[in-house]
A and B are shown apart, each in its own frame.
Chain A
């Protein structure tokens, strides 16, 4: 067995996107935001316990009862609070989709759903714990902002930005410690793609944990003579369609990379945009419609083809189709 391509982690010290949640909540409360946060018996993993320690009156745990948590969140929001609710992505939306649909989305409640442990990078816990479908579920609901931060810096910005409006949000975070993309800070803007590299031969579009390997892929491609634009599309909804159409017009080929089923996530959203507004060759890097399994998170990402190498291969394939 070969050494994982994810084994070597560069400086600065890596951090999990989920690690941003607790400190961001505390910062919001300290800044005077009227927030309340809910957990469902996973507060040490989500980081909600940090708010519980600093502002105990602003935090409630409902036990292992996600349906109850979501409807409670809606009720709290109806009294004027800004409500954060946290769990694992397999349980929220997985365990409480109808509560999210009727009580958060249809009622347009000021509730920020923060789902940690998204994707297969959860690791050893296996298929039942690995959300490969949460983005498909959440982007299918009218009126919810869906955000997948690429690193802990961007996650912090997104979590705090969510408190500034009264809209429902879904923010997907991850378990493993990842390289920092935004070493010099991020200015997260809801609904805007962030162009990390410019290029002319193709565009690589990524979200979440796939942004960093996509940047490495662009470096390798450049050394081989292919100039790749790189877009971090952290906001899946509302999607920055103009940036995607601009990329298609300027570079003529697109690769999408995400830690999600290739059905229903970022790639699907980009394909829908391209097919309607600017059809160009497109390839997807993602989970090819199969469930996860146990393994270290790096072994899993290798096994499911979520690597810089997979992005490079897809890039060469899509350029050949131009």
Chain B
């Protein structure tokens, strides 16, 4: 019923990452827009969540009331979400070329329940952790057991500029919401350039810890390490948890990773697509 019952082996996880990356570059190529850089950086995070036995979910019953919820707070990284949901069987991968086209289910920024499996509308940064606090409070009122109804929120490092995140981080520990695990895609670049130049967030691990959260730091492109950290976080019932994933914006496609600021929000050309797919299949990641 859930991917939790049959976590993929390491080789399979690596293969899933390749397929997710292929979809990311294919759909941003088809749309000639979208956000490939911050999707490629989050690929291992999503592979671990959906295929590593971390998030309990059921593509055939996306509204299952005891499911874990995966929330994309950095709501522009839709390509990695749609690529993952397609691989997981939430919708037909043939829809992928319709990304961002008029009438599509695959909207430019996430829209709740389009397609089913998308838990929250986003695109306006900074709202995901607060939304998770609300879910966790609701689950508490409903008396769900500790290991059910976990909430995983993927946030960007540039996104942490938004003050609402810190309101949510404060309130999650205040309310004792250990069901919440934040996953920071620490790719070091935001829309206008390097995060350290635009608005420094370090020492981000210390900040989070000082708000009463449990903190882990991992190589965000080591899918096994990400999976293990998320499983550890999932099992902790003493405090909300954050897994800080050190990542590279554009990871897996050399010309994107070498120029991350240039690949925040645009799609590759035909030639660039061919090169990107070749590199992904070659396993640079």
Complex Cα gap A40–B175 (Å): 15
Chain A, 73-117, CB within 8 A of any chain B CB: 73-81, 98-99, 101-103, 106-107
- Cβ of B135 and Cβ of A68 under 8 Å apart? no
- Cβ of B167 and Cβ of A73 under 8 Å apart? no
Q: Does A238 contact B (CB under 8 A)?
A: no
Q: Does B138 contact A (CB under 8 A)?
A: yes
Q: Does B122 contact A (CB under 8 A)?
A: yes
Q: Which residues of A contact B175 (CB under 8 A)?
A: 60
Using known A-B contacts A67-B167, A103-B127, determine if residue A57 contacts B141 with beta carbons closer than 8 Å: yes
Using known A-B contacts A62-B171, A103-B121, determine if residue A71 contacts B138 with beta carbons closer than 8 Å: no
> Interface size (B, Cβ < 8 Å)?
29
Q: How far is the CB of A268 from chain B (nearest CB, A)?
A: 26
- Cβ of B121 and Cβ of A72 under 8 Å apart? no
Q: How far is the CB of A220 from chain B (nearest CB, A)?
A: 49
- Cβ of A68 and Cβ of B138 under 8 Å apart? no
- Cβ of A74 and Cβ of B167 under 8 Å apart? no
- Cβ of B121 and Cβ of A106 under 8 Å apart? yes
Q: Does A142 contact B (CB under 8 A)?
A: no
- Cβ of B130 and Cβ of A67 under 8 Å apart? yes
Complex Cα gap A99–B164 (Å): 10
Using known A-B contacts A36-B141, A81-B141, determine if residue A68 contacts B112 with beta carbons closer than 8 Å: no
Q: Which residues of A contact B164 (CB under 8 A)?
A: 65, 67-68, 71, 99
Complex Cα gap A71–B112 (Å): 14
Q: Does B132 contact A (CB under 8 A)?
A: yes
Q: Does B134 contact A (CB under 8 A)?
A: yes
Q: Does B231 contact A (CB under 8 A)?
A: no
Q: Which residues of B contact A76 (CB under 8 A)?
A: 134-135, 137-138
Q: Which residue of B lies closest to A64 (CB)?
A: B167
User: From DSSP, what is the main secondary structure of chain A's interface residues?
Assistant: helix
- Cβ of B134 and Cβ of A72 under 8 Å apart? yes
Complex Cα gap A67–B162 (Å): 11
- Cβ of A75 and Cβ of B171 under 8 Å apart? no
Using known A-B contacts A36-B141, A67-B167, A68-B164, determine if residue A102 contacts B135 with beta carbons closer than 8 Å: no
Which residue of A57, A62, A81, A98 has the most chain B CB atoms within 10 A of its CB atom? A62
User: Which residues of A approach B to under 8 Å, CB–CB?
Assistant: 36, 57-58, 60, 62-63, 65, 67-68, 70-81, 98-99, 101-103, 106-107
Can you identify 10 A-B contacts, CB atoms within 8 angstroms? A67-B130, A72-B131, A75-B130, A75-B133, A75-B134, A76-B135, A99-B127, A102-B123, A103-B127, A107-B121
| Additional A-B contacts beyond A71-B164, A78-B138 (12; CB < 8 A) | A60-B175, A63-B170, A67-B130, A67-B163, A71-B127, A72-B134, A74-B120, A75-B133, A79-B142, A81-B138, A102-B124, A107-B112
